[in-house]
Structure 1
Amino acid sequence: MASSSLDTIAQAAHARWGTPASRAAGPADAILDQLPAVVLEPTTVPMLADMLRWANADKVAVVPRGAGTKLTWGRTPPRIGAVLATTRIDGSIDHCAGDLTATVPAGARLEEVNAALAREGQWLPLDPRLADRATIGGIVATNDSGPRRQKHGTPRDLIIGAEMALVDGRTAKAGGRVVKNVAGYDLARLLCGSFGALAIITRATFKLAPRPPASRTIVASAPQARPLADLALALLSSPLTPAAIELQSRPDRLLLRFETTEAAANQQAAAAEALCGAHGVDASMVSGDAEAAVWREHQADLSSADGTLVRVAVLPAQVGDVLGHAERVAAQHALECRVAGRIALGVVYARIGAGEHTRPSPESLRAAIDALRQNAWARGGSAVVVSVDPAIGHVVDPWGDVGDALPLMRALKARFDPNGILNAGHGPGNI
């Protein structure tokens, strides 16, 4: 049924499941200008598995969807037969507070999950962009994280088990509900960052953390980003344990967050402020509503839809040089460049675009992306286009060359999804 018309796909789905589990796609369901034939919204895991079995048998291309906050990441899908949503699947949160673990449904929003875990003074310490809307399944599928990655890691570091639906209609489990789980292949971590191309996650189990009773943030400012990069390296070699070390540009600032007990937060913040002074960097401490506002502004800047966003990953010691290179590239092509991200981890986001009232030329954007990518590759790093200006979306490869890993990726794809129906062509190498 690979050549079936969209109408035929929609009719087959409606005949099999009816409404509301199957409905016609509307403009809001389009993904990068591609309109699916039908939106499938199962209410149970067996129904979801049955939908996958049907799609696989009839070779209907499927795009899994949670809240839809990351659907524009990656390559434009060459075909979409159906969007398969997970947000209506029934499921409760299984919280083992004594073990600091929780199993949660993939369609649950992170904000809702943490509200439930807070009753026992615990939380899942992930803070990706659009965290108030993002679902657990989408966060795991993209391995998305935020500023607190500095202390708590990514979903791949926190996940200890997963339940999934396979394309042949079977369901499977991997890992378990205890932190020390080493038996067999770690399929749960394999699914992290797979972009839904191998299986659809239905539930995930995570190790949790106690909710910190206090938080303090040091805001360090400098005329340029390079001194802040050096300061971040100095913080890494100090005994301080910040929950986040984030760079902001325009204005150039370093945000240092400490989340622990009241006394320890004050002590570490004071020590960090003194370290900033020793490096000739102005710093001040914020807490309460002022602190929350600082972090909301930072996350909003990263979540903005304007311009082209490139994620660059290099060694932390190389970040200062990468920042300088990004500024030179932007100036060379008459573009504006704002940089933010996990500077002490070597992960920064460069948002490039034209001025406030002008539109960049496709040629200048492509040239700037190529320059950033070549510089990262030369350092043994990577540069991935997270979101792109529509003017060049059809000609820019968001992933770039993934090197020797591509044959392994293709082999895994062939084993899990031999007909290539899950997020077809969305990943590296048209996987």
Structure 2
Amino acid sequence: MNIRRPNCRQPVKGGIQPMDGTETAFPVQQALIQIRENVGPGLTDAISVEASGSPYKIQTALTVYPENEEQTAKLVRLAAANDYGIVPQGGATKDAQGGVTGKADLLVSMKKMSGILHHSVSDLMVTALPGTTVAELQQALRREGQFLPIDPAWGEQSTIGGMIASNGSGPKRALYGSARDHLIASRVVLADGSVIRTGAKVVKNVAGYDMNKLFVGSMGTIGILTELTFKIRPLPVSSGMLVYCPGNGGAIRQLHETLLDSQLEPCAAELISSAVAGELFGKAEPALAILFEDVEASVSYQLEWVKSYAAGMGLKPLAELRGFEATEPVVERLRAVTPNSNEMPSGRLAAALKLLSSLTDVPGISELAAASAERAGLQLQFSGGLYTGISHAAVYGDWWQLEDVVQWMKQMYASLGELNGTAVAAFAPKQVRSSVASWGTERSDHGLMQGIKQQFDAANLFNRGRFVGGI
């Protein structure tokens, strides 16, 4: 059986383009034999390119499940020798993020490379395989009173390898930082099948270039992560959340600016759209959720400070939640504003943007997103980080509204540009990503990023066309 594929391998100015616009046949049976003989038996799953009808899923001719780093390296060498394109994949929750690629040949799933290799409780470090889900890792760490302070969405499905490759994080980034702040070492299979080690398994390391950060957010375009080491933290003792519906933009801005000028340290402070607030708290109005995590005395003091100031503005909390059992479901819902490729039905149209701006512009961006979605007749879900400047906006509609979704995204791109911000498509079907620039407007560092791709993957083996500018 042969599968038709675009003849697309050579990097050119402006991105990765087909060499001649023709298609070549991907030899599935030949590849199966090669993988069985050169990599190992029982690692493949043949899937027709047309079999997956979901516009939110990556389509390849063959799926391969390496079980260790050696098999991964052998597979990459085999692919390089035969000109097979590779798409690395973790939990597949972000299949609908990034540029639309040609039909790649091999989807390399890391699901079988799962588990914790080493956990140093006293040194606050953990080393795990890339297919380990975030939830699995957190559960194991929690037994020792510790946790990894990165909180991407869909933790039951998201893998730590995918989290690093996509630079995933959630609302708690406001206090704990991003993936770049916690990854201290990794092992990576490069495009020639060689394996490199980056960083060091020590909390403080000042030797050489910090290569770890090169792979964070690279979307699997320059290598396949096979091992990751993180610095971790003790679990916080207490948690508390206040939720307000200020009723107008002026009150939201006043409360926001006061919080920024204070000595408080929220774990998260999110501006929530009416639809999400109605679902969570029973009142469909824009809301502000402020979360604190620390020792009990600190959490109580900060909650009382906010309540006292808000009372002076004439505001009463819509909800006050205490304890992780009460606050964590709210945070999990806010993480999930951006949809999951595994769970979005093909019959429903959805698209989401990740919006980066100054902190003080977040309330205005929330209003822009709501107004433009309402004009287009689309349903909006929004969560904006008042301490991070990172907002997530998702719209839902019917497929006949495809052009409305495209125009909404383009309008948000333009609006963020006027604010010196950035918008990227965090989730969208292929039809939308074919019509808009998934990574937003042209970037000044595109040439540098092309140079890095050329240096690490000159043959364009990994995830072609997925990253910024078609890299």
Shorter-chain TM-score bucket reads over 0.9
Change in Cα spacing, 1:298 to 1:30, as seen in structure 2 (3 Å) is closer
Instruction: Report the Cα offset of residue 146 of structure 1.
Output: 0.4
The secondary structure found in structure 1 opposite 2:108 is strand
SS class of match (2:247):
coil
Provide the rounded CA distance (Å) in 2 between the counterparts of 1:29 and 1:157.
38
Which stretch shifts more, 195-204 or 303-312?
Answer: 303-312
Map 1:41-56; keep pairs closer than 5 Å: 41-56=65-80
For normalisation by structure 2, the TM-score amounts to 0.85
- Residue of 379, 388, 392 corresponding to 1:349: 392
2:264 maps to amino acid: L
Q: What whole-Å deviation, never above 9, does each CA across 1:277-332 have from its counterpart, x for those lacking one?
A: 23443314212443334334333444464621111111011222222322332344
Matches within 5 A, 1:47-196: 47-89=71-113, 92-196=116-220
Between 1:409-418 and 1:92-101, the stretch displaced more is 92-101
Normalised to the residue count of structure 1, the TM-score between the two structures is 0.92
Deviations 1:111-160 (A, max 9, x none): 11112222321110111110122111000000100011000111011111
Q: Is the counterpart of residue 13 in structure 1 residue 21 in structure 2?
A: no
Say if 1:233 and 1:316, in contact at 8 Å, map to a contact too. no
Structure 1 residue identity aligned to 2:187: E
Task: Write the letter of the residue equivalent to 1:351.
Answer: A
Is residue 31–residue 71 contact of structure 1 (8 Å, CA) maintained in 2?
no
In 1, are the aligned partners of 2:187 and 2:226 still within 8 Å (CA)?
A: yes
- 2:280 maps to none
- Which of 458, 461, 468 does residue 418 from structure 1 map onto? 458
**How far apart are 1:244 and its partner, in Å?**
1.0
Partner of 1:295: 331
- Give the distance between the partners of 1:425 and 1:82, measured in 2 at CA: 15
Structure 1 residue 391, shift from structure 2 partner:
4.8
Structure 1: 5+ residue stretches without partners: none
Give distance in 2, aligned partners of 1:244 and 1:125.
12
The reply on whether 1:259 has 2:293 as its aligned counterpart is yes
- Partner residue, 1:395: 435
- In the TM superposition, residue 9 of structure 1 has moved relative to its aligned partner by 3.4
Deviates more, 1:403-412 or 1:300-309: 300-309
Residue type matched to 2:31 in 1? I
Question: Does the C-alpha gap of structure 1 residues 331 and 104 become closer, same or farther in structure 2, counting only changes over 3 Å?
Answer: same
For residues 207 and 226 of structure 2, what CA distance do their matches in structure 1 show?
A: 21
Partner in structure 1 of residue 368 of structure 2: 325
Q: 1:270 to 1:217 in 2, by over 3 A?
A: same
- For the residues of structure 2 that align with 1:286 and 1:227, how far apart are their CA atoms? 22
Tell me, yes or no, if the aligned pair for 1:30 and 1:36 is still in contact at 8 Å.
no
Question: Alignment partner for residue 321 of structure 2, among 282, 286, 293?
Answer: 286
Which aligned pairs between 1:214-233 and structure 2 lie closer than 5 A?
A: 214-224=238-248, 227-233=251-257
* CA 1:402–1:156: 2 relative to 1, 3 Å: farther
CA contact 1:14–1:23 (8 Å) conserved in 2: no
Q: What is the deviation of 1:73?
A: 0.9
Distance 2:415 2:362 in 1: 11
Q: Secondary structure at the match of 2:116?
A: coil
**Unaligned stretches of 5+ residues in structure 2:** 1-6, 10-23, 275-284
User: Aligned to 1:345, what secondary structure does the other structure show?
Assistant: coil
Distance 2:361 2:114 in 1: 46
Counterpart-to-counterpart distance in 2, 1:334 and 1:369: 14
Q: Secondary structure at the residue paired with 1:258?
A: strand
Identity of aligned residues (%): 27
CA distance in 1 between partners of 2:107 and 2:53 (Å): 8
After superposition, the CA RMSD in angstroms is 2.3
SS in structure 2 at match of 1:128:
coil
Aligned-pair distance for 1:215?
A: 0.8
2:231 maps to 1:207: yes
Secondary structure of the residue aligned to 1:320 is helix
Instruction: Measure the CA separation in 2 of the matches of 1:137 and 1:92.
Output: 13
Structure 1 contact 353–359 (Cα < 8 Å) conserved: no
Equivalent residue of 2:432, what SS?
coil
Q: Residues 386 and 220 from structure 1, CA distance in 2 versus in 1: closer, same or farther, beyond 3 angstroms?
A: same
Partner of 1:314: 357
**Shift of residue 381, structure 1, vs aligned partner:** 1.2
Residue deviations 1:5-35 (CA, integer Å, cap 9, x gap): 2424344334434532122126469784653
2:381 aligns with: 338
> Is 1:22–2:44 an aligned residue pair?
yes
1:166-188 alpha-carbon deviations (Å, 9 max, x no partner) = 11111111111112212111111
- The separation in 1 between residues aligned to 2:384 and 2:329, in whole angstroms, is 17
Alpha-carbon contact 1:104-1:204 (below 8 Å) kept? yes
CA contact (8 A) 1:93 1:113 kept: no
- CA deviation string 1:362-414 (max 9, x = no partner): 33222221111111112221000111255534322211224211001100001
Contact kept? 2:337, 2:394, Cα under 8 Å = no
Q: Please report how far the alpha carbon of residue 108 of structure 1 lies from its aligned counterpart in structure 2 after TM superposition.
A: 0.8
Relative CO higher for 1 or 2, CA cutoff 8 Å, sep ≥ 6? 2
Letter in 2 for 1:206: F
> Any conservation in 1 of the 2:406–2:432 contact (CA below 8 Å)?
yes
CA gap 1:225/1:386 in 2 versus in 1, 3 angstroms: farther
Alignment check: 8 A CA contact 2:273 2:366 kept: no
More displaced, 192-201 or 69-78? Answer: 69-78
Q: Distance in 2 between matches of 1:100 and 1:11?
A: 44
Alignment correspondent of 1:429: 469
* Residue aligning to 2:17: none
* DSSP-derived class of the 2:165 partner: helix
Q: Does 1:272 align with 2:306?
A: yes
